[in-house]
Amino acid sequence: MLEAEQLKVKVRDFWNENPCGTKFAQIEVGTKEFFAAIEKHRYESEWHIPEMAEFPSWKGKKVLEVGCGLGTDAIQFARAGASYTGIDLTPRSIELVEKRFQQENLLGNFQIADGENLPFPDNHFDLVYSHGVLHHTPDTQKAINEVHRVIKPGGKALIMLYHRNSYNYYGNIMFFRRLGAQILKYSWGPSLVNLLTKEDINALNRLQNDMKKNPQHFFSKEEFLNQNTDGAGNPLAKVYSRKEASLLFSRFSQVNTEVRFLNKRWIPLLGKLLPRAIESPIAKIWGWHLWIIGNK
Protein backbone atom coordinates (compact mmCIF):
# COMPACT_ATOMS: atom_id res chain seq x y z
CA MET A 1 0.00 0.00 0.00
CA LEU A 2 1.25 3.49 -0.80
CA GLU A 3 2.38 5.71 2.08
CA ALA A 4 -0.49 8.20 1.61
CA GLU A 5 -3.05 5.37 1.58
CA GLN A 6 -1.59 3.89 4.76
CA LEU A 7 -1.80 7.30 6.39
CA LYS A 8 -5.43 7.68 5.26
CA VAL A 9 -6.27 4.35 6.96
CA LYS A 10 -4.71 5.65 10.18
CA VAL A 11 -6.68 8.91 9.87
CA ARG A 12 -9.92 6.96 9.37
CA ASP A 13 -9.22 4.63 12.30
CA PHE A 14 -8.37 7.50 14.62
CA TRP A 15 -11.57 9.46 13.88
CA ASN A 16 -13.70 6.32 13.92
CA GLU A 17 -12.49 5.62 17.46
CA ASN A 18 -12.66 9.26 18.54
CA PRO A 19 -15.64 10.91 16.82
CA CYS A 20 -14.88 14.60 16.86
CA GLY A 21 -16.06 16.48 19.97
CA THR A 22 -17.44 13.51 21.95
CA LYS A 23 -15.11 14.37 24.84
CA PHE A 24 -17.05 17.59 25.42
CA ALA A 25 -20.11 15.75 26.81
CA GLN A 26 -20.00 13.03 29.48
CA ILE A 27 -23.38 11.64 28.40
CA GLU A 28 -24.21 8.40 26.53
CA VAL A 29 -23.11 9.00 22.93
CA GLY A 30 -25.95 9.24 20.40
CA THR A 31 -28.74 10.23 22.80
CA LYS A 32 -30.76 13.44 22.32
CA GLU A 33 -29.20 14.81 25.52
CA PHE A 34 -25.73 14.07 24.16
CA PHE A 35 -26.33 15.95 20.90
CA ALA A 36 -27.91 18.87 22.79
CA ALA A 37 -24.87 19.12 25.12
CA ILE A 38 -22.43 18.97 22.20
CA GLU A 39 -24.34 21.68 20.36
CA LYS A 40 -24.47 23.95 23.41
CA HIS A 41 -20.74 23.57 24.04
CA ARG A 42 -19.84 24.14 20.37
CA TYR A 43 -21.69 27.41 19.86
CA GLU A 44 -20.79 28.78 23.30
CA SER A 45 -17.06 28.33 22.72
CA GLU A 46 -17.00 28.70 18.91
CA TRP A 47 -19.68 31.38 18.68
CA HIS A 48 -18.21 32.65 15.42
CA ILE A 49 -19.32 29.51 13.48
CA PRO A 50 -22.96 30.56 12.88
CA GLU A 51 -21.68 34.03 11.95
CA MET A 52 -19.31 32.58 9.33
CA ALA A 53 -21.59 29.80 8.01
CA GLU A 54 -24.73 31.99 7.77
CA PHE A 55 -26.91 28.86 8.04
CA PRO A 56 -30.29 30.56 7.29
CA SER A 57 -28.99 31.96 4.01
CA TRP A 58 -28.71 28.41 2.53
CA LYS A 59 -32.44 27.70 2.62
CA GLY A 60 -33.45 25.82 -0.55
CA LYS A 61 -29.81 25.49 -1.69
CA LYS A 62 -27.76 22.35 -2.29
CA VAL A 63 -25.14 22.09 0.45
CA LEU A 64 -22.38 19.48 0.68
CA GLU A 65 -20.41 19.12 3.90
CA VAL A 66 -17.06 17.31 3.70
CA GLY A 67 -16.23 15.64 7.04
CA CYS A 68 -19.54 16.18 8.83
CA GLY A 69 -18.42 14.45 12.06
CA LEU A 70 -21.27 14.33 14.60
CA GLY A 71 -23.38 16.63 12.43
CA THR A 72 -23.66 19.69 14.68
CA ASP A 73 -23.34 22.13 11.79
CA ALA A 74 -25.19 19.68 9.51
CA ILE A 75 -28.32 19.98 11.60
CA GLN A 76 -28.17 23.81 11.41
CA PHE A 77 -28.17 23.68 7.58
CA ALA A 78 -31.05 21.18 7.61
CA ARG A 79 -33.10 23.13 10.19
CA ALA A 80 -32.62 26.21 8.00
CA GLY A 81 -34.15 24.33 5.03
CA ALA A 82 -31.04 23.54 2.96
CA SER A 83 -30.91 20.38 0.83
CA TYR A 84 -28.10 18.82 2.84
CA THR A 85 -25.56 16.13 1.89
CA GLY A 86 -22.86 15.07 4.36
CA ILE A 87 -19.89 12.79 3.83
CA ASP A 88 -17.31 11.52 6.27
CA LEU A 89 -14.45 9.05 6.07
CA THR A 90 -15.73 7.13 9.08
CA PRO A 91 -18.73 4.78 9.45
CA ARG A 92 -19.12 5.92 13.08
CA SER A 93 -19.72 9.59 12.16
CA ILE A 94 -22.22 8.69 9.44
CA GLU A 95 -24.07 6.39 11.86
CA LEU A 96 -24.28 9.21 14.44
CA VAL A 97 -25.29 11.97 12.04
CA GLU A 98 -28.05 9.75 10.57
CA LYS A 99 -29.34 9.06 14.07
CA ARG A 100 -29.35 12.74 14.83
CA PHE A 101 -31.36 13.63 11.73
CA GLN A 102 -33.87 10.84 12.54
CA GLN A 103 -34.31 12.23 16.07
CA GLU A 104 -35.29 15.61 14.59
CA ASN A 105 -37.29 14.19 11.66
CA LEU A 106 -35.07 16.03 9.18
CA LEU A 107 -33.99 14.85 5.75
CA GLY A 108 -30.39 14.57 4.56
CA ASN A 109 -28.17 12.43 2.35
CA PHE A 110 -25.21 10.76 3.99
CA GLN A 111 -22.32 8.72 2.67
CA ILE A 112 -19.10 7.24 3.91
CA ALA A 113 -16.71 8.82 1.40
CA ASP A 114 -13.31 10.42 0.99
CA GLY A 115 -13.01 14.18 0.45
CA GLU A 116 -10.11 13.49 -1.93
CA ASN A 117 -12.46 11.54 -4.26
CA LEU A 118 -15.93 13.02 -4.01
CA PRO A 119 -18.66 10.68 -5.37
CA PHE A 120 -20.61 13.56 -6.98
CA PRO A 121 -20.87 15.01 -10.51
CA ASP A 122 -19.22 18.27 -11.58
CA ASN A 123 -21.01 21.61 -10.96
CA HIS A 124 -23.56 20.18 -8.52
CA PHE A 125 -23.63 22.11 -5.21
CA ASP A 126 -24.31 25.76 -4.30
CA LEU A 127 -22.08 25.48 -1.23
CA VAL A 128 -19.34 23.11 -0.15
CA TYR A 129 -18.69 23.52 3.56
CA SER A 130 -15.92 21.87 5.54
CA HIS A 131 -14.94 22.69 9.10
CA GLY A 132 -11.69 21.39 10.56
CA VAL A 133 -11.29 18.47 8.16
CA LEU A 134 -9.03 19.03 5.16
CA HIS A 135 -5.91 19.66 7.27
CA HIS A 136 -6.31 16.03 8.46
CA THR A 137 -6.29 14.46 4.99
CA PRO A 138 -2.96 13.50 3.37
CA ASP A 139 -3.54 15.32 0.05
CA THR A 140 -5.24 18.61 0.99
CA GLN A 141 -4.71 20.10 -2.48
CA LYS A 142 -6.48 17.16 -4.13
CA ALA A 143 -9.42 17.55 -1.73
CA ILE A 144 -9.72 21.27 -2.50
CA ASN A 145 -9.61 20.57 -6.23
CA GLU A 146 -12.49 18.14 -5.65
CA VAL A 147 -14.40 20.84 -3.74
CA HIS A 148 -13.92 23.17 -6.70
CA ARG A 149 -15.06 20.52 -9.20
CA VAL A 150 -18.41 19.77 -7.52
CA ILE A 151 -19.40 23.43 -6.93
CA LYS A 152 -21.70 25.04 -9.51
CA PRO A 153 -20.30 28.04 -11.36
CA GLY A 154 -21.18 31.01 -9.13
CA GLY A 155 -21.25 28.72 -6.07
CA LYS A 156 -19.15 29.00 -2.95
CA ALA A 157 -16.64 27.06 -0.84
CA LEU A 158 -16.42 27.78 2.88
CA ILE A 159 -13.52 25.84 4.36
CA MET A 160 -11.88 26.07 7.78
CA LEU A 161 -8.23 25.04 8.14
CA TYR A 162 -5.92 25.50 11.12
CA HIS A 163 -4.01 28.79 11.14
CA ARG A 164 -0.24 28.78 11.45
CA ASN A 165 0.21 32.43 12.51
CA SER A 166 -1.89 31.99 15.61
CA TYR A 167 -1.54 32.08 19.39
CA ASN A 168 -2.55 28.41 19.50
CA TYR A 169 0.25 27.28 17.17
CA TYR A 170 3.20 29.36 18.37
CA GLY A 171 2.12 30.11 21.97
CA ASN A 172 0.18 27.09 23.15
CA ILE A 173 1.44 24.17 21.04
CA MET A 174 5.01 25.09 20.16
CA PHE A 175 5.84 26.82 23.48
CA PHE A 176 3.67 25.78 26.46
CA ARG A 177 2.91 22.24 25.31
CA ARG A 178 6.49 21.50 24.26
CA LEU A 179 7.57 22.64 27.70
CA GLY A 180 4.83 20.54 29.33
CA ALA A 181 5.70 17.47 27.24
CA GLN A 182 8.84 17.12 29.35
CA ILE A 183 6.49 15.74 32.05
CA LEU A 184 5.96 12.65 29.90
CA LYS A 185 9.60 11.73 30.42
CA TYR A 186 8.73 10.63 33.96
CA SER A 187 6.91 7.39 34.84
CA TRP A 188 4.13 9.38 36.58
CA GLY A 189 3.86 11.82 33.63
CA PRO A 190 0.88 10.26 31.79
CA SER A 191 -1.24 10.14 35.00
CA LEU A 192 -0.54 13.80 35.76
CA VAL A 193 -1.30 14.93 32.18
CA ASN A 194 -4.50 12.81 32.28
CA LEU A 195 -5.51 14.55 35.53
CA LEU A 196 -4.84 18.03 34.11
CA THR A 197 -6.23 17.61 30.59
CA LYS A 198 -8.61 14.55 30.72
CA GLU A 199 -6.65 13.17 27.74
CA ASP A 200 -7.14 9.38 27.40
CA ILE A 201 -4.61 7.58 29.66
CA ASN A 202 -3.96 4.74 27.18
CA ALA A 203 -3.22 7.26 24.43
CA LEU A 204 -0.86 9.11 26.80
CA ASN A 205 0.95 5.89 27.69
CA ARG A 206 1.38 5.16 23.97
CA LEU A 207 2.67 8.71 23.51
CA GLN A 208 5.19 8.22 26.32
CA ASN A 209 6.44 5.04 24.62
CA ASP A 210 6.78 6.87 21.29
CA MET A 211 8.73 9.65 22.99
CA LYS A 212 11.11 7.22 24.66
CA LYS A 213 11.62 5.22 21.45
CA ASN A 214 12.32 8.20 19.21
CA PRO A 215 12.51 11.61 20.95
CA GLN A 216 13.75 13.32 17.77
CA HIS A 217 10.63 12.28 15.84
CA PHE A 218 8.35 13.00 18.82
CA PHE A 219 9.59 16.59 19.15
CA SER A 220 9.72 17.30 15.39
CA LYS A 221 7.37 20.18 14.45
CA GLU A 222 5.14 17.97 12.30
CA GLU A 223 4.73 15.14 14.77
CA PHE A 224 4.31 17.48 17.73
CA LEU A 225 1.51 19.27 15.87
CA ASN A 226 -0.19 15.95 15.05
CA GLN A 227 -0.22 14.96 18.72
CA ASN A 228 -1.35 18.33 20.07
CA THR A 229 -4.35 19.45 18.08
CA ASP A 230 -7.16 16.88 18.33
CA GLY A 231 -5.97 14.47 20.98
CA ALA A 232 -3.08 12.08 21.48
CA GLY A 233 -2.79 9.49 18.73
CA ASN A 234 -4.00 11.82 15.96
CA PRO A 235 -1.94 10.75 12.93
CA LEU A 236 -2.14 13.99 10.93
CA ALA A 237 -2.73 17.72 11.37
CA LYS A 238 -1.41 20.61 9.29
CA VAL A 239 -1.38 24.40 9.64
CA TYR A 240 -1.54 27.11 6.95
CA SER A 241 -0.81 30.81 6.73
CA ARG A 242 -3.37 32.94 4.86
CA LYS A 243 -1.04 33.00 1.86
CA GLU A 244 -0.45 29.24 1.82
CA ALA A 245 -4.17 28.58 2.11
CA SER A 246 -5.03 31.04 -0.68
CA LEU A 247 -2.60 29.21 -2.98
CA LEU A 248 -4.51 25.97 -2.40
CA PHE A 249 -7.61 27.75 -3.76
CA SER A 250 -5.99 29.17 -6.88
CA ARG A 251 -8.60 27.48 -9.14
CA PHE A 252 -11.32 29.70 -7.63
CA SER A 253 -12.13 33.01 -9.32
CA GLN A 254 -12.12 34.91 -6.02
CA VAL A 255 -10.62 33.96 -2.66
CA ASN A 256 -10.92 35.70 0.72
CA THR A 257 -9.64 34.63 4.12
CA GLU A 258 -10.92 35.40 7.63
CA VAL A 259 -9.39 34.39 10.96
CA ARG A 260 -11.43 33.55 14.09
CA PHE A 261 -11.34 31.66 17.43
CA LEU A 262 -8.80 32.31 20.12
CA ASN A 263 -9.00 28.90 21.83
CA LYS A 264 -9.18 30.62 25.22
CA ARG A 265 -9.02 27.41 27.25
CA TRP A 266 -5.34 27.19 26.31
CA ILE A 267 -4.44 30.68 27.53
CA PRO A 268 -3.16 30.08 31.07
CA LEU A 269 -4.93 32.12 33.82
CA LEU A 270 -6.17 34.96 31.59
CA GLY A 271 -8.17 32.95 29.04
CA LYS A 272 -11.37 32.58 31.04
CA LEU A 273 -11.37 36.25 32.03
CA LEU A 274 -11.16 37.71 28.52
CA PRO A 275 -14.40 39.48 27.57
CA ARG A 276 -15.65 38.96 24.03
CA ALA A 277 -14.97 42.63 23.20
CA ILE A 278 -11.23 41.99 23.66
CA GLU A 279 -11.19 38.37 22.48
CA SER A 280 -12.85 39.11 19.15
CA PRO A 281 -10.34 41.60 17.65
CA ILE A 282 -7.38 39.46 18.83
CA ALA A 283 -9.00 36.35 17.32
CA LYS A 284 -9.33 38.11 13.97
CA ILE A 285 -5.52 38.35 13.80
CA TRP A 286 -4.07 35.46 15.84
CA GLY A 287 -7.05 33.09 15.91
CA TRP A 288 -6.72 29.34 15.29
CA HIS A 289 -9.41 28.99 12.64
CA LEU A 290 -8.54 30.18 9.17
CA TRP A 291 -11.68 30.38 7.03
CA ILE A 292 -11.22 30.41 3.28
CA ILE A 293 -14.11 31.67 1.21
CA GLY A 294 -13.76 30.70 -2.44
CA ASN A 295 -16.11 31.72 -5.23
CA LYS A 296 -16.17 29.56 -8.36
Select 142 or 251, whichever has its Cβ closest to ligand SAM: 142
> Nearest distance from residue 73's CB to ligand SAM, in Å?
6
Q: Which residues does 283 contact at the CB level (< 8 Å), separation at least 6?
A: 48, 259, 260, 261, 262
Minimum distance from CB of 191 to ligand SAM (Å)? 27
- Greatest Cα pair distance in the chain: 57
Interaction of residue 89 with ligand SAM, rule CB under 6 A: yes
Residue 64 is a binding residue for ligand SAM (CB under 6 A): no
Beta carbon nearer to ligand SAM, 83 or 88:
88
41 exposure class (CB count in 10 Å sphere: 0-12, 13-18, 19+): middle
The closest of 172, 106, 161, 186 to 291, measured between CA atoms, is 161
Shortest approach of ligand SAM to residue 140 CB, angstroms? 9
Among 77, 78, 84, 115, binds ligand SAM (CB under 6 A): 115
Which of 69, 155, 287, 294 is in the footprint of ligand SAM by CB under 6 A?
69
Tell which positions 219-278 bind ligand SAM, by CB under 6 A: 230
Answer yes or no: are the C-beta atoms of 185 and 219 closer than 8 Å: no
Spatial neighbors of 16 by CB under 8 A, at least 6 apart, are 90, 91, 92, 93
Distance CA 53, CA 49 (A): 6
* Strand partners for 156: 127, 295
Q: Does 38 interact with ligand SAM (rule: CB under 6 A)?
A: no
Is 289 an interacting residue with respect to ligand SAM (CB under 6 A)?
A: no
The one segment of 52-60, 87-95, 173-181, 244-252 that binds ligand SAM by CB under 6 A: 87-95
Please tell me whether residue 131 binds ligand SAM under the rule CB under 6 A.
yes
Beta bridge partners of 159: 130, 292
Interface pick for ligand SAM out of 39, 88, 146, 200 (rule CB under 6 A): 88
Q: How far is the CB of 216 from ligand SAM (least distance, A)?
A: 27
Single residue of 48, 96, 116, 224 touching ligand SAM by CB under 6 A: 116
Kind and range of the H or E run holding 247: helix 242-248
CB 71, min distance to ligand SAM, A: 8
- Cα angle 239-121-248, degrees, rounded to a multiple of 5: 20
Cβ neighbours of residue 244 under 8 Å, at least 6 residues apart? Answer: 164
Q: Is 11 in the site for ligand SAM (CB under 6 A)?
A: yes
Smallest distance from the beta carbon of 114 to ligand SAM, in angstroms? Answer: 5
User: Which one of residues 76, 83, 85, 137 is an interface residue with ligand SAM (CB under 6 A)?
Assistant: 137
DSSP state of 176: I
Contact residues toward ligand SAM (CB under 6 A) are: 11, 15, 20-21, 66-69, 72, 87-90, 93, 114-116, 131-133, 136-137, 230
